Structures are given as C-alpha cells and as structure tokens.
Amino acid sequence: MEFRDFSLLVKDTKVSEFAEGLERGVILATKCEKCGSIYYPPRHDCPKCFSDEMSWIELHGSGKLLSFTVIFVPPEHFAPDLSETAPFSGYRYAPKPVGIVEMGNGARVMGWIPGIPREELQIGMSLTPKAEVLPNGRATIVLAPEGE
Ligand SMILES: [Zn+2]
C-alpha cells in the first residue's frame, strides 16, 4: 500500500511505513531515540531536539475520547457505505461521528466512529483505534468501543 492510499495524495514520503502498518492492521507512531518524544502522525525528524534518530512504535489498546464532532457530508473513505444524497444536490449525506482519542503515551489518534450513535458518545469514554482496509483498498482508522 502506498501512503496516498491512506488519505493524502502523496506518493513519496519518509514515513511510508505508516501506510504499510495500516495495511497490516497496525497503527504506527515514531519515537525520538534522543529525547523520547512520541509523534503521531509519525514524523521522520524530531522538531524538539532536531534528531533524525527515530524508531517506529505500535500504538496498542484504548485511549480516552478527547473531542468529537459529526461530519454530515463525509469524504468517501470515512463512509464507504454512502447511500443517501442530500436534497437538491449530488452530495452524499451520511452523518458520521469522528473523534480524537488520547493514548496512554500521549499520542492523539483521529478516527471515525461508525459503531456508536452520536447520542451515546461521551468525552472521556474509552475507545480503541483500529486500522482498517476498506473494500476499495484505501485505509482508514476507526475508533471502536472496547471489546470489539
Ligand atoms: Zn527528540
């Protein structure tokens, strides 16, 4: 999988391993070997100490929901099952919650939340970021309830 299959139309990048991780179902961050800072999305160079001695780490387990919103006309990779169109337009209308969880190591991961109705989402609840490859071959990140 190429990096552009995640979200950006970028083919060549120093952090292409990120997209390869998603393909394997793993969410990767980078850790600076010099100062210990953790970066998600991954960075190839540390903006704090300017070192390029970075290693890849996997993000595991759940995090706490910091914030969320609802996107009413989501991009295709957020809602591959789009079925309704908005009135008087060709826009696909499919409200999808999207949120940010903070992991135990401080990494903040954004993903869409297809498994929980918006009314049941609460700041601070535990959600688990998971990498998913959609039927069209693009990768995305889902925030799943614990136990799923
Ligand atoms: Zn550093």
DSSP string, the chain: --GGGTSSS----TTTHHHHHHHTT--EEEEETTT--EESS--SS-TTT----EEEEE--S-EEEEEEEEESS--TTT-TT---B-TTSS-B---EEEEEEE-TTS-EEEEE-TTS-GGG--TT-EEEEEEEE-TTS-EEEEEEETT-
Q: Percentage of residues in the chain with pLDDT exceeding 90?
A: 53
Q: Please determine, for residue 68, whether its predicted confidence score (pLDDT) is greater than 80.
A: yes
Identify the residue with better confidence: 147 or 67: 67
Contacts of 22 (CB under 8 A, 6+ apart): 1, 6, 131, 133, 139, 141
Residue 40 pLDDT: 94
Q: Please determine, for residue 78, whether its predicted confidence score (pLDDT) is greater than 90.
A: no
Residue 80 pLDDT: 54
CA of 54 to the centre of ligand 1 (A): 8
Residue 19 pLDDT: 85
Q: Are strands 54-58 and 28-32 parallel, antiparallel or unpaired?
A: antiparallel
pLDDT digits (tens, 9 = 90+) for 128-140: 999 988 777 778 8
CA of 77 to the centre of ligand 1 (A): 33
Q: Please determine, for residue 113, whether its predicted confidence score (pLDDT) is greater than 70.
A: yes
Residue 61 pLDDT: 94
Averaged over 67-95, what is the pLDDT? 66
Identify the residue whose tokens are 């869409």: 112
Q: Please determine, for residue 3, whether its predicted confidence score (pLDDT) is greater than 70.
A: no
Residue at 5: amino acid letter: D
CA of 28 to the centre of ligand 1 (A): 17
Averaged over 50-57, what is the pLDDT? 95
Averaged over 96-107, what is the pLDDT? 94
CA of 41 to the centre of ligand 1 (A): 15
Question: What is the model's pTM?
Answer: 0.79
Residue 102 pLDDT: 97
CA of 104 to the centre of ligand 1 (A): 19
Residue 28 pLDDT: 95
Enumerate domains of the chain plus CATH numbers: 1-58 (no CATH), 61-148 (2.40.50)
CA dihedral 28, 129, 134, 113 (to 10 degrees): -150
CA atoms of 75 and 55, how far apart (whole Å):
31
